């Protein structure tokens, strides 16, 4: 009896994989699908967690299709892609005249999804004010439109997904603890690709066959060494990264037999992929940071670049003064008529403060002490000379160009957008910030 039940469940899981295009036989993946099937007939809230690119979006669809709401609407909302100023209106709707541009009444997603399922992707990116509104919907099914005082009712099943570490987000005050427990009634964890080594080759073959058919070319094949390299790679971008790399190789390589040498040119070197220190954004970051988390990486990069420039400037000045001393040092008795050779380059540079971006609005890096002067260069001893002042040409002084954090940040965002042909999601991922933060920065700097 038990064996029959086991094979029936296993058969159901395989059917779901075929229906929703899920590839893999890892125990963690099968467990996640099994939980989704069991919770589907209920109305419990579900929280799907996992790293970016693992395929979390498939599980809300499984839950909806196997629930009593399958004939109702299914709406997927990417919370991270909606600007903070309009997300309440998008989710809950607004009344005419509620804000500038509200020329008519509008229903939000919760009204449109009444009787069905709403999938809130990247729920960890929601502002705190919106989190309070969402908590009320979960507790009582009630919400209020923006600009209205009338309570609305909705019968909707909420499935949320995120790649945010909620323990850190709650500790830093970026996510409400009570909302977390309401969303996390039933947790589903989707394992990352590096924990599914047996599935990597299967996924590669599937993607290779799909792209061969799409572009009408022979399918690429891995030799044994290349297959081993593929399996041992950590895949920080998970399935999405594997799919992109497979497509690149399929299009670019004329040799359809892929060797480790060919494959290695498409796999980013994780160890050298970033010049930023390892603690940025991790546990070593300041726990008090909140809304400034997304800009911190840019600020660190600017400060480290400036420190390197200062070091190079010190070295240059030291070399100049060493050459001057070697070329013009003349031993001469000191008398009342003699004059001393001054060091104009050092005098001027030591009086010019280094321009450091203002970091008052970034509390987590406020402990970094700005460099005020080039003070570590030992002054060259004064020596007497028989040459007159006219024998020396004026020393050209280079004053470091003023650096503005806003200008640097704007330039980095502009370059990221150019690299990804204006695709904001890819640019945001490149800059290690959320899409909403990138959208706000684009508007702020006029890069639209």
Could you please report the per-residue DSSP string of 241-257? HHHHHHHHHHHH-S-SE
Check residue 127 and give its pLDDT.
95
Mean pLDDT over each residue of the chain, to the nearest integer: 80
Q: Closest Cα to residue 301, out of 432, 402, 133?
A: 432
| Predicted confidence (pLDDT) at residue 32 exceeds the cutoff of 90 | yes
- The token pair at 134 is 């969402």
Are the beta carbons of 359 and 295 closer than 8 angstroms? no
pLDDT-wise least confident of 14-28, 228-242, 393-407: 393-407
* CA–CA distance, 51 with 42 (Å, rounded to integer): 26
Higher-confidence position of 100 and 251: 251
pLDDT in tens, 344-368: 444 444 444 444 444 444 444 434 4
Q: What pLDDT is attached to residue 9?
A: 59
Contact between 68 and 94 (Cβ < 8 Å): no
* High-pLDDT (> 70) share of the chain, %: 73
pLDDT value of position 390: 43
Confidence of residue 311 (pLDDT cuts 50, 70, 90): confident
pLDDT of residue 356: 44
Over residues 29-34, the mean pLDDT reads: 96
Confidence tier at 297 by pLDDT (50, 70, 90): low
pLDDT tens digits, 153-203: 999 999 999 999 999 999 999 999 999 999 999 999 999 999 999 999 999
Amino acid 359: pLDDT: 42
Given a cut of 50, whether residue 43 has pLDDT beyond it is yes
Domains of the chain: 2-191 (3.40.50.300), 201-272 (1.10.8.60), 296-391 (no CATH), 405-445 (1.10.10)
Dist CA 66 CA 157 (whole Å): 13
The 3-state DSSP class for residue 177 equals helix
Q: Contact at 8 Å (CB) between 366 and 359? A: yes
How many alpha carbons fall within 13 Å on the CB side of residue 365?
A: 23
**Residue 239 pLDDT greater than 90, yes or no:** yes
DSSP 296-346: HHHHHHHHHHHHHHHHHHHHHHHHHHHHHHHHH-------TT-EEPP-HHH
> Taking a C-beta distance cutoff of 8 angstroms, is the pair 192, 51 a contact?
yes
Are the C-beta atoms of residues 179 and 16 closer than 8 Å to each other?
no
Q: Is the pLDDT of residue 46 over 50?
A: yes
pLDDT at 349: 43
The pLDDT of residue 117 is above 80: yes
**What per-residue confidence (pLDDT) applies to 328?**
56
pLDDT above 80: residue 99 = yes
- E strands, 96-192, are 117-121, 142-144, 151-153, 157-162, 186-189
Nearest Cα neighbor of 152 from 112, 185, 179 is 112
pLDDT tens by residue, 386-429: 444 444 444 444 444 445 677 778 888 888 888 888 888 888 88
Nearest CA-CA partner of 189 in 171, 158, 166: 166
**Range scoring the smallest mean pLDDT among 22-31, 59-68, 291-300:** 291-300
């Amino acid at each position: 009896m038990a064996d029959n039940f086991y094979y029936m469940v296993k058969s159901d899981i395989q059917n779901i994989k075929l229906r929703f295009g899920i590839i893999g036989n890892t125990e963690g993946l099968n467990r996640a699908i099994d939980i989704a099937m069991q919770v589907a007939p209920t109305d419990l809230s579900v929280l799907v967690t996992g790293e970016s690119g693992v395929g979390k979006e498939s599980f809300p669809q499984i839950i909806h299709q196997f629930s009593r709401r399958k004939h109702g609407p299914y709406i997927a909302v990417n919370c991270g892609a909606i600007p903070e100023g309009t997300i309440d209106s998008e989710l809950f709707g607004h009344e005419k005249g509620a804000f500038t541009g509200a020329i008519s009444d509008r229903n939000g997603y919760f009204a449109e999804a009444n009787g069905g399922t709403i999938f809130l992707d990247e729920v960890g990116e929601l502002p705190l004010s919106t989190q309070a509104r969402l908590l009320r919907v979960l507790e009582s099914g009630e919400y209020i439109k923006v600009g209205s005082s009338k309570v609305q009712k909705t019968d909707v099943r909420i499935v949320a997904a995120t790649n945010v570490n909620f323990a850190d987000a709650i500790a830093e005050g970026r996510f409400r603890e009570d909302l977390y427990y309401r969303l996390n009634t039933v947790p589903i964890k989707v394992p990352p690709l590096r924990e599914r080594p047996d599935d990597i080759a299967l996924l590669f073959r599937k993607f290779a066959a799909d792209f061969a058919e799409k572009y009408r070319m022979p399918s690429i094949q891995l030799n044994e060494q290349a297959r081993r390299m593929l399996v041992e790679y950590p895949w920080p971008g998970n399935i999405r990264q594997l799919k992109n790399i497979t497509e690149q190789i399929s299009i670019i390589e004329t040799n359809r037999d892929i060797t480790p040498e060919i494959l290695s040119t498409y796999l980013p070197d994780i160890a050298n992929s970033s010049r930023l220190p390892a603690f940025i954004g991790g546990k070593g970051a300041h726990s008090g940071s909140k809304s400034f988390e997304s800009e911190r990486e840019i600020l660190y990069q600017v400060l480290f670049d400036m420190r390197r420039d200062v070091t190079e400037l010190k070295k240059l000045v030291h070399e100049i003064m060493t050459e001057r001393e070697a070329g013009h040092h003349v031993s001469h008795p000191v008398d009342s008529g003699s004059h001393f050779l001054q060091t104009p380059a050092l005098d001027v540079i030591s009086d010019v403060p280094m321009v450091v971006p203002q970091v008052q609005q970034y509390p987590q890096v406020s402990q970094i002490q700005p460099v005020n002067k080039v003070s570590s260069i030992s002054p060259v001893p004064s020596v007497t000379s028989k040459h007159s002042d006219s024998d020396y040409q004026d020393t050209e002084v280079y004053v470091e160009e003023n650096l503005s954090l806003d200008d640097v940040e704007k330039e980095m965002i502009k370059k990221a957008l150019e690299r990804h042909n204006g695709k904001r999601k890819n640019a945001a991922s490149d800059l290690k910030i959320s899409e909403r933060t990138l959208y706000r920065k684009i508007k702020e700097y006029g890069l639209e």
